[in-house]
């Protein structure tokens, strides 16, 4: 179980975004976070994935704190793929950050082999996002946090990628946290909904 226990956090001293907030995801669940823009959804995602440390309380993955070395079992896919990749690495090196990429993963995400030798500025936003998803999956996470992952994809690619992610989840039994502003997508995907 991925769990945030009584966490408090904020960016400005004395102005907490959350106080004593608790939240948990079981393996196989898809929990949607719902709140207006600027409410701290992305911040919560960053806390769960270990990018930020809470002021108080703890984030536990399988009853242990997140490891500080090795690949994190909680992987975050962010909403701005162009900011999540190194602009001076070819895409094949960006993918290699996650270690060995399983066979068929690139095909399943519609990543073409000629894109591997390109730099990030030579790809579109949707194409970059597929690389970010591939990189997160390749590190074999136990929990995946999808922060608006499909808003920069067309409807067809969005459906393809979510079908892929749902199949992957069914195979691996991972837990998922997702953020989306589309009510229709929420109805399709979430097993339950948490309003902040």
Partner 1 sequence: MQQRDRLAGHGPHGNAEKHHRHRHGPTSRHDQGHHLLQVSNLSVGFRMYDVDAPFLSAEQHMVNVIDDLGISVHSGEIIAVVGASGSGKTLLADSVMGLFEPNAAVYGEVWFDGQRMDAEALSAVRGRAGGISLVPQSVSHLDPLMRVGKQVEGFGKQGSREERRAKRRALFERYGLGEDVAQLYPHELSGGMARRVLLCCALMDDPKLIIADEPTPGLDLDLAVAALDDFRAFSDEGGGVLLITHDIELALRVADRVAVFKDGTVVEETAVANFASPDLLEHPFSRALWHALPEHGFDVTPDGGDAPC
Q: Shortest gap between Cβ of 36 and partner 1 (angstroms)? A: 5
Quick one: 6 or 124, whose CB is closer to partner 1? Answer: 124
Q: Shortest gap between Cβ of 60 and partner 1 (angstroms)? A: 26
Q: Shortest gap between Cβ of 114 and partner 1 (angstroms)? A: 8
Quick one: 5 or 90, whose CB is closer to partner 1? Answer: 90
Quick one: 124 or 191, whose CB is closer to partner 1? Answer: 124
Q: Shortest gap between Cβ of 22 and partner 1 (angstroms)? A: 22
Given the rule CB under 8 A, which residues bind partner 1? 11, 36-43, 79-80, 82-83, 114, 117, 121-127, 148, 151-160, 162-163, 181-185, 187-188
Give the contacts of 43 (CB within 8 A, at least 6 positions apart). Answer: 9, 11, 17, 52
Quick one: 43 or 169, whose CB is closer to partner 1? Answer: 43
Q: Shortest gap between Cβ of 151 and partner 1 (angstroms)? A: 4
Q: Which neighbouring-strand residues pair with 76?
A: 145
Quick one: 36 or 104, whose CB is closer to partner 1? Answer: 36
Quick one: 39 or 168, whose CB is closer to partner 1? Answer: 39
DSSP assignments along the chain, one per residue: -EEEEEEEE-SBTTB-SEEEEEEEE-TT-EEEEE--TTSSHHHHHHHHTTSS--SEEEEEETTEEPPSSSS-SEEEE-S-GGGSS-TTS-HHHHHHTTSSPPTTHHHHTT--GGGGGS-GGGS-HHHHHHHHHHHHHHT--SEEEEESTTTTS-HHHHHHHHHHHHHHHHHH--EEEEE-S-HHHHHHH-SEEEE-
As given in the structure block, the two tokens for residue 189 are: 């995907």
Are 75 and 178 in contact by the 8 Å Cβ rule? The answer is no
Q: Shortest gap between Cβ of 188 and partner 1 (angstroms)? A: 5
């Amino acid at each position: 179980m991925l769990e945030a226990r009584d966490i408090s956090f904020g960016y400005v001293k004395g102005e907490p975004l959350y106080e004593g907030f608790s939240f948990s995801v079981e393996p196989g669940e898809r929990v949607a976070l719902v709140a207006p823009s600027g409410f701290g959804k992305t911040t919560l995602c960053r806390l769960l994935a270990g990018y930020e440390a809470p002021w108080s309380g703890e984030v536990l993955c399988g009853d242990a704190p997140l490891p500080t070395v090795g690949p994190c079992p909680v992987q975050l896919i962010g909403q701005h793929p162009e900011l999540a990749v190194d602009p001076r690495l070819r895409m094949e090196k960006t993918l290699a950050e996650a270690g060995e990429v399983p066979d068929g993963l690139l095909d399943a995400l519609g990543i073409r082999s000629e894109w591997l030798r390109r730099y990030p500025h030579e790809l579109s936003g949707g194409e970059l996002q597929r690389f970010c998803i591939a990189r997160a999956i390749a590190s074999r996470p136990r929990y995946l946090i999808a922060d608006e992952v499909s808003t920069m994809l067309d409807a067809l690619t969005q459906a393809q990628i979510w079908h892929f992610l749902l199949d992957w989840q069914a195979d691996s039994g991972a837990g998922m946290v997702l953020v989306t502003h589309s009510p229709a997508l929420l109805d399709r995907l979430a097993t339950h909904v948490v309003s902040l």
